[in-house]
């Protein structure tokens, strides 16, 4: 039985890898993609979802997300202004150096919030929501109809971090971008499982340069595309953090969703996201409240993670070649 998922995303290079994984995986039925502003502005992220789907010849629909930032609608003091054009980590258009045609025909007239609520109502307790960007759309869904959102099967959200930040030393980008939306979403944590795939675990799942070269050799077409996407991303991580390789945050979230046994240590805790107008804004903070509202993987089995990435994106033959190569190293 295929798993029914909705993927909320702000492509973004690591979003693209996660979308490719979902499109290639035989046991995932993506009911729809919803776009959100984050890595780039909302129109760019919406177009980028269509670019990836168009490349794979997919006819899955894209539902454009909210133009408004949730925090700005609930907090008159919240003032976040980002000039997306200056955001270089994902390259000028959000997909590194990859040049892919967009496909406007894939963009539905229906907005993201309407699509998410209608889909959950159609498939009660069967839909897993995977979020790869700020939680803006999901917060608006909850504000519009909490009872329907309680009928989600689960949420797997890339964001936050217990011991790490990346947009600030304390805050991870997705949650920092719209912090009030995080707290709105975690209200659901009392009713359904929410997995917060934070920086603590995504920074363990680094695809190294051998992995990336292997991808290019084993599948010149797709491998070449992935490497084109990653060039500016790898340069940025090397220059700013002296990390050599691809830290694929969003890919970690969807692989862990499919294979939770990858996670070897998970915190079951209560947390909130700081909305204070100070250095803590966007930080995910553990509380001593007994009510568990989130499950946070803190460690994962990297070798098995990489095997799933290779097999599910490139196929069993590629995995055989990969394991042979590793065994002969």
Return the residue of 6, 7, 37, 39 that touches ligand RIB, per CB under 6 A.
39
What is the 8-class DSSP label of residue 27?
T
Query: According to CB under 6 A, which residues from 128 to 157 bind ligand RIB?
Result: 132-133
91 lies in the site for Ca ion, by CB under 5 A: no
Token pair, residue 126, equals 């069967």
H-helix segments, 95-178: 112-122, 136-144, 146-149, 173-177
Mask for 88-127, x = binds ligand RIB (CB under 6 A) = ----------------------------------------
Mask for 235-274, x = binds Ca ion (CB under 5 A) = ---------------x------------------------
| Helix or strand run (H / E) with residue 204 | none
Options 9-17, 163-171, 193-201, 306-314: segment touching Ca ion (CB under 5 A): 9-17
Question: Hunting for tokens 């069993």 — which residue is that?
Answer: 316
Q: Are 283 and 185 in contact (CB under 8 A)?
A: no
Q: How far is Cα 27 from Cα 286, in angstroms, rounded to an integer?
A: 34
Nearest Cα neighbor of 204 from 271, 264, 272, 155 is 264
Options 42-50, 149-157, 169-177, 233-241: segment touching ligand RIB (CB under 6 A): 169-177
User: Cβ closer to Ca ion: 15 or 312?
Assistant: 15
Return the residue of 14, 47, 219, 312 that touches ligand RIB, per CB under 6 A.
14
Question: 19-54 b/e with 16+ CB inside 10 Å = b?
Answer: bbbbbebeebebbbbbbbbbbbbbebbbbbbbbbbb
Query: According to CB under 6 A, which residues from 178 to 237 bind ligand RIB?
Result: none
Residues belonging to the active site? 249
Interface ranges with ligand RIB (CB under 6 A):
10, 12, 14-15, 38-39, 132-133, 158, 166, 172-174, 249-250
């Amino acid at each position: 039985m295929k798993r029914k998922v909705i993927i909320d995303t702000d492509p973004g290079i690591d979003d693209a890898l996660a979308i490719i994984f979902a499109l290639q995986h035989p046991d995932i039925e993506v009911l729809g993609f919803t776009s959100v502003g984050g890595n780039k502005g909302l129109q760019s992220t919406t177009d980028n979802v269509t670019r990836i789907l168009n490349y794979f010849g997919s006819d899955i629909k894209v539902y454009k997300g909210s133009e408004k930032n949730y925090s700005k609608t609930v907090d008159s003091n919240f003032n976040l202004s980002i000039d997306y054009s200056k955001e270089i980590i994902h390259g000028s258009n959000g997909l590194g150096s990859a040049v892919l045609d967009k496909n406007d025909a894939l963009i539905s007239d229906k907005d993201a919030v309407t699509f998410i609520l209608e889909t959950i109502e159609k498939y009660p307790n069967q839909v897993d929501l995977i979020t790869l960007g700020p939680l803006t759309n999901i917060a608006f869904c909850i504000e519009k109809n909490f009872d329907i959102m309680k009928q989600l099967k689960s949420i797997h959200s890339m964001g936050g971090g217990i011991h790490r930040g990346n947009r600030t030393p304390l805050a991870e980008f997705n949650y920092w971008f719209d912090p009030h939306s995080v707290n709105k979403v975690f209200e659901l944590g009392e009713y359904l499982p929410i997995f917060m795939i934070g920086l603590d675990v995504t920074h363990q799942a680094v695809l190294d340069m051998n992995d990336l070269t292997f991808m290019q050799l084993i599948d010149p077409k797709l491998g070449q595309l992935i490497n084109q996407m990653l060039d500016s991303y790898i340069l940025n991580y090397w220059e700013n953090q002296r990390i050599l390789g691809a830290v694929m945050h969003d890919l970690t979230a969807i692989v862990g969703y499919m294979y939770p046994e990858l996670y070897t240590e998970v915190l079951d805790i209560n947390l909130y996201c700081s909305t204070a107008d100070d250095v803590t804004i966007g930080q995910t903070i553990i509380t001593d409240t007994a009510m568990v509202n989130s499950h946070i993987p803190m460690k994962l089995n990297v070798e098995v993670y990489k095997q799933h990435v290779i097999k599910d994106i490139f196929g069993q033959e590629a995995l055989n070649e990969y394991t042979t190569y590793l065994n002969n190293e």
